[in-house]
Amino acid sequence: MKELPARRLLLVHAHPDDESINNGVTMARYAAEGVHVTLVTCTLGERGEVIPPELRHLTGAELGAHRLRELTAAMAELGVDDFRLLGGVGRYGDSGMMGLTDNDDPACFWQADLDEAAASLVEVILEVRPQVLVTYDDNGGYGHPDHIQAHRVALRAAELAEGVDERAGWRIPKVYFNRVPRSVAEAAFARLQEELPELPFTASAVVSDVPGVVDDDRVTAEIDGREGAGAYAAAKAAAMRAHATQVEVAPGERYFALSNDLAQPLFATEYYELVRGEPAQSRETDLFAGLSGVSRIAGTEGVA
């Protein structure tokens, strides 16, 4: 078994661009600190709506291939070398928004057999042996079928990886869901309303459009990417800009819009809810906090 860095982080996302919007600061920070950061993306987002007029001819597999190139560029901005497509490139197709006939396509991720898809992720878990897993909540953050399925696959894979056998199994000690504290979202949108006339967007989104907004007391960790913390927010904005078919970042890198042209905040601090692991007395500023060694199945050797 190859030697790995002491700290290993696994993120599971639905489409290219989700990782940069939700976790760009976190990925940039930990990559810079020498953590082994692994991103698993479940689809290529072939049904995404394209923003730039000059790229709107891209559809289906051609759009998927382009979005993979965008993902590669985004990972270069974040300093992440280990990024993969679940089951290999093109294994699972984009399912489209909830309620569309696209959801019925047998090749889409929403229709994937849960244990079969999870088995592909188990292979990654056993290879990388992450101590921290980040993914969406059971609503996928905002109800998209691919996000919900990514949540299901991530948690099922974590469960299956523990029971492979007593020699090869792996237990992930800490699991987090992506979150945004309600007070932070409301304050950010209040500022957005004041600054909207200066932005290149037609109107503003609303707090309920932001995935994973919860009451503040449910948030257990935050990763600050502002200037004093290493300017990881700048890397996040650059990664989001690399996803040009899906994201438009406004000058100043404080706001962005998706294909609906509705402005929303670009969060320079990212937030999480611990759903597996020992809770701290106060809000964590390190997702690896409290891990003194590697959690493992009896008989499995590893590095701390």
Taking only the tens place, the pLDDT of each residue in 4-29 is: 899 999 999 999 999 999 999 999 99
The whole-angstrom separation of Cα 242 and Cα 226 is: 20
Global pTM reads 0.93
- What is residue 139's predicted lDDT score, i.e. its pLDDT? 95
Distance of CA 137 to the CA centre of its chain: 11
- What is residue 47's predicted lDDT score, i.e. its pLDDT? 97
Taking only the tens place, the pLDDT of each residue in 108-165 is: 999 999 999 999 999 999 999 999 999 999 999 999 999 999 999 999 999 999 987 6
**Among 194, 206, 175, 185, which Cα is nearest to 266's?**
185
Residue 151 among known ligand-binding residues: no
Report whether pLDDT(266) > 70: yes
Query: pLDDT-derived band of residue 300, with 50, 70 and 90 as boundaries?
Result: very low
Do residues 230 and 285 lie in contact, with contact meaning Cβ atoms separated by under 8 Å? no
- What is residue 227's predicted lDDT score, i.e. its pLDDT? 60
| Contact partners, residue 129, CB within 8 Å, separation at least 6 | 4, 8, 170, 294, 302
- What is residue 292's predicted lDDT score, i.e. its pLDDT? 73
Residue 94 among known ligand-binding residues: no
Residue 13 among known ligand-binding residues: no
